[in-house]
Amino acid sequence: MSDDKIEKIRWDKNDLGAVKPELLDTFDYEYPGKDIMIKLETNEFGAVCPWSGLPDFGTILIEYIPDKLILELKSLKYYLYTFRSVGVYQEHVINRIFDDVKKKIKPKKIKITLTYNIRGGINTTVIRESK
């Protein structure tokens, strides 16, 4: 296949409106005042390139100190899965996830790290944390 044919190929993709933060669920943290660090990690995160529609895969690590709420794991998996067909730049997706999770659980502190699989010989890691 010639390069000019490849450059014209595009796959369908959704915008960020397809992400469903309402899927995120919580339960009460029963030990207020006793700070713990919760680390949630999955290497099954996926979204697509907003330009080409090609899939991007990566590992996401969410670290937080709960205040009153803990993030329910199955709901997080469903939420993250809604990104599968969303066209979003690697450097932007971290902000959406951070904002949605922080708004839902209102933690004392939160840090999210997203490390994408190598693409074109370049590894990308994006990090956002609360101060």
For the stretch 46-57, pLDDT in tens is 999 888 888 999
Residue 4: active-site member: no
Domain with 40 in it: 10-129
pTM score, two decimals? 0.89
The confidence score (pLDDT) of residue 3 equals 63
Tokens of 121: 């010989």
Residue 4 located in a structural domain? no
**Which member of 25, 49, 67, 100 is catalytic?**
49
Residue 75 located in a structural domain? yes
Closest by CA position to 40, among listed 90, 123, 112: 112
pLDDT per residue as tens digits for the range 34-91:
999 999 999 999 999 888 888 999 999 999 999 999 999 999 999 999 999 999 998 8
78 three-state secondary structure: helix
Residue 5 located in a structural domain? no
Residue 56: active-site member: yes
Per the rule left: phi > 0, alpha: psi between -120 and 50, beta: everything else, 55 is beta
**Which member of 4, 15, 25, 56 is catalytic?**
56
Residue 2 located in a structural domain? no
